[in-house]
Amino acid sequence: MRSHFRNSIIFSVICLIAAFVYGYTTGGWETAFSTFFIVLTLWALETSISFDNAIVNTTVLKKMDAKRRHRFLTRGILIAVVGMRIIFPLLIVSLFGHVNPVEALRLALRDSDQYAKILEIAHIPILGFGGAFLMMVGLKFFFNEDKHTHRIWWIEKYLQKMHKMEAIEAGIVMILLYIFWQFVAPEHFTDFFVSGILGLIVFIIVDGLSTLLESNQASGMIKSSMMWFLYLELLDASFSLDGVIWAFALSKNLLVIALGLGIGAYFVRSMTMYLYDKWTLNMYRYLENGAFWAICSLALMMFLGTIIHIPEVFTWLIGIVVIGLSIWSSVREQAKKKPEIEDVI
């Protein structure tokens, strides 16, 4: 385990020291300790909320070659930290605040209240995109005709039988978008629906290209791995969308948020590689199922978040409980099988 988390621990220590020094230089000892604990809190929340992300990432890594897996852990972390935790919020502020990216950066560094206010305006379309994309991820798993393990048998077996209905996942997401669109504030009608459709389209394009490029030939495998790498980055982006918003509840400083969420993103990468190398999904039979149930729950929470306030702690607890139950079920399953094996011996 040490080898898997060594780099993320080193990265965390560096970021925490940087947070403390930054706080001290901007406001003295009190600000230094405050900044340190805010970054620490963001790290803990981002890591715990993204556990289901790590499990799903593990299933995708099986479809990639060794080279792309390595890039996911190295170059991918740059995309996750710099791209999604710094550049993406700046682009959102630039788009919805009708300012250029340079002005958005100035607001982030010198007028954090205005920066946070503009980003809050983008809250609804962000949730629409993330909810649609993640719901497609979850439904794709449950409607897969090759799925063999069923945690909640009477539901999952029925869902699997529905795979014969063409584009059933997209149809369900469209229905959900229409239902929640009825309750979204009038000024957000267009933003919510367009962003939701965009999330749906992006998933269909990436998933379709991945399937198209899959081949038994080496060149086809490389192309397919590239698409799965892109899929992983989009998946990480969708998981981080809401986190970028609620992080402003703790701090409106872009640098502080980037440090905290960046540490969490790195730990998710390390967690993913640990799960992959140790074949944990084989040890815990229902862990994968639990992760996808948690993803569907998160997508629903995103949709609900467009009409009512959903406490971040509540969303986090749902994911933890669902995955916890899947682990408990897996352990019970192993305990039942062990006596049977001993009897055979």
pLDDT recorded at residue 342: 46
**What phi, psi does 217 have (nearest 5°)?**
-80, 155
pLDDT in tens for each of the 345 residues of the chain? Answer: 566 778 888 888 998 999 999 888 888 888 889 889 888 888 877 776 677 777 777 777 777 777 777 777 677 777 777 777 777 777 777 877 777 888 888 887 777 777 777 777 778 888 888 889 889 888 888 887 767 777 766 677 777 777 777 788 889 999 999 999 999 988 888 889 988 998 899 888 877 766 665 544 444 455 566 677 777 777 777 666 666 666 766 677 778 888 888 888 888 778 777 777 766 656 677 777 777 888 888 889 889 988 888 776 677 678 778 878 887 887 777 777 655 544 444
Q: What angle do CA 21, 25, 29 make, to 5 degrees?
A: 75
Q: How many residues are listed for the chain in this entry?
A: 345
Q: Left, alpha or beta for 312 (phi > 0: left; psi -120 to 50: alpha)?
A: alpha
Q: Left, alpha or beta for 224 (phi > 0: left; psi -120 to 50: alpha)?
A: alpha
Alpha-carbon distance 115 to 106, whole Å?
Answer: 9
pLDDT recorded at residue 180: 93
Alpha-carbon distance 271 to 277, whole Å?
Answer: 10
289 close to 157: Cβ distance less than 8 angstroms:
no
Domain boundaries, given as residue ranges, for the chain: 2-344
Average pLDDT value over all residues in the chain: 77
Strand, coil or helix: what is 52?
helix
pLDDT recorded at residue 174: 93
Strand, coil or helix: what is 74?
coil
Q: What is the pTM of this model?
A: 0.72
DSSP state string for 28-43: HHHHHHHHHHHHHHHH
